[in-house]
Amino acid sequence: MITLLPHVGLAAFVLLLPITGVILLILASVTASYRQVVMAYTQAGGSYVVARENFGPRLAQVAAAALLIDYVVTVAIQPAAGTVAVVSAIPALRPYSLEIMVAAVLVFCIANLRGLRQSGRAFAIATYSFVGMLTLMIVTGVIREIFWELPKYDPQHIVGAVPVHEGGLVAGATIFVLLRAFANGGSSLTGIEVISNTVNVFREPQGPNARRVLTAMACILGLLLAGVAYLAHITHATPYVAGYPSMLSEIARAVFGNGASGNTLYFLVQAASAAILFTGANTAFGGFPALASFVAGDRFLPRPLTKRGHRLVYSNGIITLTALAVALLLVTGGSVHELVPLFAIGVFTAFAMAGYGMTKHHLRHREPGWRHKAMVNVAAGIMSTVVVGVFVVAKFTQGAWLIVVVFPLLVFALMRLNRQYRAEASVLEMSRTEPPDIAKHARLRVFVFVDSVDLAEVEALRYGKGLQADDLVAVHFVVDTDHAAQLRQRWERFDHDTRLSLVDCPDRHLSRAAQEFVMQALHDNPGSKVTVLLPRRTFSPLLGRLLHDRTADKMARAVSRIPGATAIIVPYDIKSRLTGAAPEIFAEQGAPDNDQSEPRMLRIEKH
């Protein structure tokens, strides 16, 4: 209606029903296709699994990108639409709409991080309340229209409403306008994918149970969509430029009236709408992390997305989803009209991939009735592809350009990341023809990089002695001659048999100096292997990073790049020892830091 009214005027209410009829036809086609998907693939993943099994993991990334985008937009658009329902009933909350949306996303994020499970009872209350109230509204509206005639709005004289074109149907009804209106209405079908993504949570037999739920959901969706469209056609409910109040709110007000019972039923419709829209966002918090884990397991997304937190949820996936959804809300200002094209393109792309994937599945397996099933799937795939094209063309300037740009970039990023993972794996994998020669390096040289004489250095030296090396040397890179002289003096007083070698580093580039030193050691001793031990003192997580640098990590990375060399960081946790050691340390605070007294050094050696 937002698209039609400015171009065809009141004729929009005539075109509303045939456009809805086309959408219902696509609903029936996609549902028939997904009835086969849930029977053939009972694991989670939906169209991604279908595409991966039939087209391979690389082409399946098209479905993965579509679903990942869809989940992100779902978490943004559900609270946005729910907020519209709330502020339509309570106008005083309109200035805080964006804050309500962001708060809702954060609440679901925290709840899922704490291990929220989708409570069937809580979600059922929201679902059945919505279905019940809309059914009551539709039945009441039809009865009133038959016997008493429903009141009609006057779109041309409503302040704040979408402007109405003065011309007629022929003057404004271009193909482009109709396609754009159809694209907006097509977003009504986006919930079908959800069931195929979660077949694994159904009771046995999973496939038949999921198919029954899918069929029931599609029937309910079709009836509600047709009923609401008919009431909009009758009442001339008109959208507002600001998005508030919603058309559903106007229809409910026209059907139930303004009396005491009418106001009660009106608020119940708005409450049920808000409840199902807000809770609907939680489906993405279950789907996105699981799908991201699948894709990451196939090495197309970062591996941290496969990790579960201590409450057995994919914490990294939940946090990533929340950050992207909040960013999308802030960029679009929480406008449902701007989010719709982003929402629908991803879903219909997944519909298309599922349809084509199931077509290939039937061509491969040729089970009884496979020709009929393949025709259903290919028809759904073609219809969905056409809808995607309609969205891209008709909604390009109204937000679809973002998906047109982001979608191929995301697919490319997934492919590029997979190539990186495969390259890394090829380096780490052992040869399949020849067993690895573990004893290739006959001589082992161990270097302990030191900067002072303390318990962290002692721990690294102790570890080095345990390696049974042919040669164990402590190495200090000299950037301060006074400090180096003091270190040598303390080292000699320390009285042990490990040799200390001083290496000049005039440019203070410790990583490069370490790399050159190790390369020279390997050059001077062909066939040997070098292991470098770097003591690292670990402090409290926050203050430790602020008060101390990470030189050991940088030097370790530089050494690890050298063939034949290994860098090992030997951590020494300061925080865990600080409490127990505090009384003794504080008792000796009167002594200067450069105290050379023999008893103090003996205590270190004894420890």
CB 374 within 8 A of CB 357: no
Q: What are phi and psi of 507, to 5 degrees?
A: -85, 0
Separation CA 350–CA 381 (nearest Å): 9
Write the CB contacts of 19 (distance below 8 Å, at least 6 apart in sequence). 178, 181, 182, 185
Alpha carbon separation from 115 to 33, 101, 109, 157, 494 (Å, rounded): 33, 22, 10, 51, 53
Q: What is the pLDDT of residue 129?
A: 92
Q: What mean pLDDT do residues 228-242 have?
A: 89
Instruction: Considering only residues 44 and 491, tell me which one the structure prediction assigns the higher pLDDT.
Output: 491
pLDDT reading at 581 higher than 70: no
Q: Average the pLDDT over 555-577 and give the result.
A: 82
Residue 404 has pLDDT above 80, yes or no: no
Percent of the residues in the chain that have a pLDDT greater than 70, as a whole number: 83
Contact 84, 270 (CB under 8 A): no
583 vs 488, more confident:
488
Is residue 326 within 8 A of residue 338, CB to CB? The reply is: no
- Supply the pLDDT for residue 136: 94
Q: What is the mean pLDDT of residues 537-556?
A: 66
pLDDT of 231 reads 93
- Helix %, strand %, coil % of the chain (to 5): 70, 5, 25
User: Which of 40-44, 395-399, 414-418 bottoms out in mean pLDDT, i.e. has the lowest?
Assistant: 395-399
Q: What's the per-residue H, E or C state across 471-492?
A: EEEEEEEECCHHHHHHHHHHHH
In the predicted structure, residue 134 carries a pLDDT above the cut 90: yes
Question: What pLDDT is recorded for position 539?
Answer: 63
pLDDT at 327: 92
**Residue 309: strand, helix, or coil:** coil
Model pLDDT, residue 172 = 47
User: Is 239 strand, coil or helix?
Assistant: coil
- Position 368 scores a pLDDT of 85
pLDDT on residue 344: 72
Residue 326 above 90 pLDDT? yes
d(CA 593, CA 125): 69
d(CA 199, CA 213): 10
How high is the mean pLDDT of the chain? Answer: 80
Query: Is pLDDT at 176 greater than 80 in this prediction?
Result: no
- Can you read off the two tokens belonging to residue 461? 């030296």
Over residues 312-322, the pLDDT tens digits come to 678 888 899 99
* pLDDT number for residue 168: 53
Which pLDDT band holds residue 103 (cuts at 50, 70, 90)? very high
Count the Cβ atoms, other than its own, within 10 Å of residue 121.
Answer: 6
Between 346-355, 564-573, 592-601, the lowest mean confidence (pLDDT) is in 592-601
pLDDT band of residue 535 (cuts 50, 70, 90) is: confident
Whether residue 227 is predicted with pLDDT greater than 90 in this model: the reply is yes
Instruction: Give the model's confidence band at 442: pLDDT under 50 very low, under 70 low, under 90 confident, else very high.
Output: low
Question: What global pTM score does this model have?
Answer: 0.71
Mean pLDDT on 403-430:
76
- 268 compared with 570, residue with greater pLDDT: 268
- Using CA atoms of 321, 323, 324, 327 in order, give the dihedral in degrees to the nearest 10: 150
Local confidence band at 174 (pLDDT 50, 70, 90 cut-offs): low
Going from the C-alpha of 596 to that of each of 242, 502, 601, the distances in angstroms are 77, 21, 8
Q: How confident is the model at residue 242 (pLDDT cuts 50, 70, 90)?
A: confident
